[in-house]
């Protein structure tokens, strides 16, 4: 499995320009939410829920720059997309001395808004991000993207994480409709594979994120799940 180089520490432990595990606001968030337990599994679980529900998911807020992906940027904005939230979770885990990497998969995602469907012209999301966390000798997958309020609105199962089993998306929602299909895993990395991601986004989504920029994701979600919406 290929992985990017990190500075300091062992694999999955060092700070990087985006995974800012040594940034003061990241350290403060980690200390606040990890709790007083010395058990890394309990800390990782607590941090997972803090990122999942404390940072709102915003599919329109994709910024493929180091500045836009920084953990401190996500904390400052209070919202992020799957990759930026995975970066934040990796950063706060590393801040607590828990090895964490970034994992990526290509998925067919049936949770979207009308604006996204019209603009993207595809339901395939390349480089969907999750966090791989090393706990008690095992790497486990944690996906903190969709906050609980979003799941309730779209009637999809919230992703729980116990630090032992992989936490990846369910294939069907609460009403039996297709939700998420994992098409291919791209591997797990010690840092953001930004060049590869940018190249694929340019190839598959030319101009899409610029077109979505400035749109209100929360407003579009409300329209989508209203009785007259397309879901």
In this predicted model, what pLDDT tens digit does every residue of 36-88 receive, in sequence order? 999 999 999 999 999 999 999 999 989 999 999 999 999 999 999 999 999 99
Confidence of residue 11 (pLDDT cuts 50, 70, 90): confident
Region 197-225 average pLDDT: 88
The pLDDT value given to residue 1: 29
Q: Which two tokens stand for residue 148?
A: 């609980």
The pLDDT value given to residue 9: 41
Q: Is the dihedral of CA 177, 169, 145, 63 positive or negative?
A: negative
The pLDDT value given to residue 227: 66
Residue 6 has pLDDT above 60, yes or no: no
Distances (CA, A) of 165 to 73, 136, 142, 143, 161: 29, 12, 9, 12, 7
217 in Cβ contact with 116 (< 8 Å): no
85 in Cβ contact with 103 (< 8 Å): no
Mapped onto helix, strand or coil, the DSSP state of residue 90 is: helix
What CATH number has the domain spanning 24-225? 3.10.620
Percent of all residues in the chain with a pLDDT value above 90, rounded to a whole number: 72
- Give the model confidence (pLDDT) of 157-173 as tens digits: 999 999 999 999 998 88
Q: pTM of the prediction?
A: 0.91
């Amino acid at each position: 499995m290929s992985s990017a180089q990190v500075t300091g520490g062992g694999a999955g432990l060092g700070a990087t320009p985006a995974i800012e595990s040594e940034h003061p606001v990241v350290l403060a968030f980690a200390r606040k939410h990890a709790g007083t337990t010395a058990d890394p599994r309990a800390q990782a679980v607590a941090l997972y829920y803090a990122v999942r529900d404390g940072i709102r998911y915003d599919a329109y807020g994709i910024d493929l720059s180091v500045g836009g992906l920084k953990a401190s940027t996500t904390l400052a904005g209070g919202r992020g997309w799957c990759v930026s939230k995975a970066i934040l979770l990796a950063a706060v885990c590393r801040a607590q001395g828990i090895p964490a990497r970034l994992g990526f998969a290509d998925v067919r995602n049936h949770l979207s808004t009308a604006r996204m469907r019209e603009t993207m012209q595809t339901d395939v999301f390349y480089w969907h991000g999750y966090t791989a966390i090393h706990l008690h000798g095992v790497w486990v997958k944690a996906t903190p993207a969709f906050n609980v309020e979003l799941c309730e609105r779209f009637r999809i199962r919230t992703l729980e994480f116990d630090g032992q089993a992989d936490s990846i998306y369910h294939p069907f929602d609460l009403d039996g409709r297709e939700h998420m299909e994992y098409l291919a895993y791209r591997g797990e990395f010690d840092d953001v594979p930004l060049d590869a991601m940018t190249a694929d986004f340019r190839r598959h989504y030319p101009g899409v994120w610029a077109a979505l920029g400035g749109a209100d994701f929360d407003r579009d979600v409300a329209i989508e799940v209203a009785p007259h919406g397309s879901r």
